[in-house]
């Protein structure tokens, strides 16, 4: 375990495809989605304790969630919570993290990871992360963990890697492709040289900042002005002023699609991004009728292949239906075809437009 290893967990999103459970005031990273009593954020934090110590784990979130982060991870100090004043996508978020950690430790070797992924084999996950950290500590590389796909999926980005040029399980990346259509996804799976992009990145702060200077100069110019402020009481005031001026763009588009020193490790530790209700259904234990039921008082009759989520104190009776999402959050009930889960995000907006923001 290197003293230069740092973790940055991105936890500022809304999780709109997990509506109505995930709300603006309490998004999905703070919810017990898996039913084991821990929030997704807490699970992610504990997972990374296999890689480094608690004092080297940082959370990047929207400023409005600072208190909730402290409640879920009381081990953190204030300086370990990076508060974004605006949602500008992942490129500014990653740059802010890199500048801050580079100021703290010029040799910082960073893992960037989302707060809402499900990992089945956490020991294998830690092994892959440590292999990546060893590689980036010795090479000026931008490394991403790629997930070996088990089916064509249009909701994930893909990484094409060069299989003949392995360096101890680390492969050069040829290109990134954002969320393809189904026919393209099928061709990717058939080719055997594509991985799912899990959004888990490993690099030295120095290496990624050099990439920003070259490929995202506007972000670099804005946030580099704060080097004397990072990790001081002046940091938040600087970020509040300059961060909202950064362009809204993902790190994939800004850096990963342009840089040439990108590598990947194909991984098989059992991963799901839990991006929508269907992912939770796929990864959860099912009863003999193929249902996933999260609730203490649920009666089903002739119900198959459905996801039912209900408050603990509410009796839910469902009969004669198949392939549904039935999500009861008390003030909002959603009943919708499971095959059309991607429409939930648009339904959330309709609810807000029609009945007010208190429902989102």
Is residue 219 domain-shared with residue 304, that is, in the same domain? no
Is residue 81 domain-shared with residue 146, that is, in the same domain? yes
Is residue 154 domain-shared with residue 33, that is, in the same domain? yes
Range of the domain at 264: 5-272
Is residue 218 domain-shared with residue 310, that is, in the same domain? no
What is the C-alpha separation between 64 and 76, in angstroms, rounded?
Answer: 17
Give the rounded distance of the alpha carbon of 15 from its chain centre.
10
98 inside domain: yes
User: Of 252, 272, 292, which residue sits at a domain end?
Assistant: 272
277 inside domain: no
Q: What is the pLDDT of residue 1?
A: 62
278 inside domain: no
213 inside domain: yes
Is residue 199 domain-shared with residue 343, that is, in the same domain? no
34 inside domain: yes
Which string of DSSP letters, residue by residue, matches 158-185? EEEE-TT--BTTBEEEEEEE-S--HHHH
Q: What is the pLDDT of residue 283?
A: 85
135 inside domain: yes
**How long is the chain?**
360
Q: What is the pLDDT of residue 203?
A: 97
User: Of 240, 272, 304, which residue sits at a domain end?
Assistant: 272
Cβ-contact 328, 307 below 8 angstroms: no
Cβ-contact 81, 153 below 8 angstroms: no
What is the C-alpha separation between 267 and 128, in angstroms, rounded?
Answer: 7
Is residue 93 domain-shared with residue 213, that is, in the same domain? yes
What is the C-alpha separation between 6 and 51, in angstroms, rounded?
Answer: 9
Cβ-contact 5, 106 below 8 angstroms: no
Cβ-contact 84, 96 below 8 angstroms: yes
Count: domains in the chain: 2
What is the C-alpha separation between 280 and 302, in angstroms, rounded?
Answer: 22
Is residue 319 domain-shared with residue 205, that is, in the same domain? no
Is residue 246 domain-shared with residue 125, that is, in the same domain? yes
Q: Which residues of the chain have pLDDT under 50?
A: none
Q: What is the pLDDT of residue 165?
A: 66
Long-range (24+ apart) CB contacts under 8 A made by 162-166 are: 162/193, 163/192, 163/193
Is residue 347 domain-shared with residue 205, that is, in the same domain? no
Cβ-contact 329, 21 below 8 angstroms: yes
User: Of 272, 293, 322, which residue sits at a domain end?
Assistant: 272
Can you give the CATH number for the domain in which 226 is found? 3.90.550.10
Structure-token pair, residue 354: 């029609």
Helix axes 90-104, 217-224, angle to 10 degrees: 40
229 inside domain: yes
Is residue 194 domain-shared with residue 82, that is, in the same domain? yes
Is residue 224 domain-shared with residue 291, that is, in the same domain? no
266 inside domain: yes
Is residue 229 domain-shared with residue 347, that is, in the same domain? no
């Amino acid at each position: 375990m290197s003293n230069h290893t740092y973790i940055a967990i991105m936890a500022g999103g809304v999780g709109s495809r997990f509506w109505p459970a995930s709300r603006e005031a309490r998004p999905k990273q703070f919810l017990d989605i898996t039913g084991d009593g821990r929030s997704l954020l807490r699970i992610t934090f504990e997972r990374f304790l296999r890689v480094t110590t608690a004092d080297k784990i940082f959370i990047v979130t929207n400023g409005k969630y600072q208190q909730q982060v402290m409640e879920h991870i009381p081990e953190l100090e204030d300086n370990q919570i990076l508060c974004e004043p605006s949602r500008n996508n992942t490129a500014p978020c990653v740059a802010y993290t890199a500048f801050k950690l580079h100021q703290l430790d010029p040799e910082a070797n960073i893992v960037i990871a989302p707060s809402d992924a499900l990992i089945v084999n956490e020991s294998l996950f830690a092994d892959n992360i440590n292999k990546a950290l060893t590689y980036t500590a010795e090479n000026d590389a931008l490394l991403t963990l790629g997930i070996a796909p088990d089916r064509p999926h249009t909701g994930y980005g893909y990484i094409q890697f060069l299989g003949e040029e392995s360096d101890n399980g680390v492969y050069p990346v040829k290109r990134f492709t954002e969320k393809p259509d189904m026919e393209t996804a099928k061709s990717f799976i058939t080719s055997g040289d594509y991985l799912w992009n899990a959004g888990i990145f490993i690099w030295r702060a120095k290496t990624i900042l050099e990439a920003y200077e070259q490929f995202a100069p506007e972000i670099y110019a804005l946030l580099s002005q704060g080097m004397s402020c990072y990790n001081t009481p002046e940091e938040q005031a600087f970020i509040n002023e300059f961060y909202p001026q950064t362009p809204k763009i993902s790190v994939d588009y800004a850096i990963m699609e342009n840089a040439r020193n990108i590598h990947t490790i194909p991984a098989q530790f059992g991963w799901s991004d839990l991006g929508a209700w269907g992912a939770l259904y796929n990864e959860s234990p099912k009863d003999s009728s193929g249902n996933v039921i999260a609730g203490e008082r649920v009666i089903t009759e002739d119900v198959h292949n459905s996801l039912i989520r209900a408050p603990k104190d509410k009796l839910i009776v469902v009969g004669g239906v198949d392939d549904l999402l039935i999500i009861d959050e008390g003030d909002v009930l959603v009943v919708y075809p499971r095959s059309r889960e991607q429409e939930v995000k648009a339904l959330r907006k309709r609810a807000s437009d029609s009945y007010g923001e208190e429902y989102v």
